Homo-oligomer: A and B are copies of this chain.
Amino acid sequence: MNRFLSHATNRIDAKGRVSVPSAFRAVLTEAGAKELYCFQDFVFPAISVGGPELLDRFERQMASEDPFSDAANQMSLLVHGGGVFVKLDPEGRLMVTDFIRDFTGISTDVAFVGRGDHFQLWEPQAFARAQAEAREGRKQRGLRPQ
């Protein structure tokens, strides 16, 4: 397993820490990432997290846009300027800062959501809603992969 898949919800403790799921930690150590880079998702109320190579992914995305468009400009602002570094403690926990709480609405529990080459932090209810909406959209457009 070398990608971020599946999801799990963990509780924030009294000190504001939360355990990163074991499966995700395994991916990180395999990739050799000792420091994580976080920034706000462009569409969802979620924080994207990954190793340093995560920057590459979003720079590719920016490159796919017209470099002078508003979208590319905003992405650069969020990715380059809005990012935050986070590191894990020896038990594999991270601090849930106000940067994370304010943008996601997270208060007591964190949903860790795999996105392939990175993962995201969600307020659990918001994740459930976004998923339900995405499923509904798929259904209406008749894009069932079966």
Contacts and interface: CB of A to CB of B under 8 A. Distances in A.
B43 A131 contact: no
Contacts of A138: 42, 74-75, 78
A91 interface: no
B6 A43 contact: no
Q: How many copies does the complex hold?
A: 2
Contact of A42 (B4, B40, B113, B139): B139
Contact of A83 (B5, B75, B78, B81): B5
Contacts of A113: 77, 80-81
B82 A7 contact: yes
Contacts of A58: 145
Interface in A1-32: 3-7, 23
A114 interface: yes
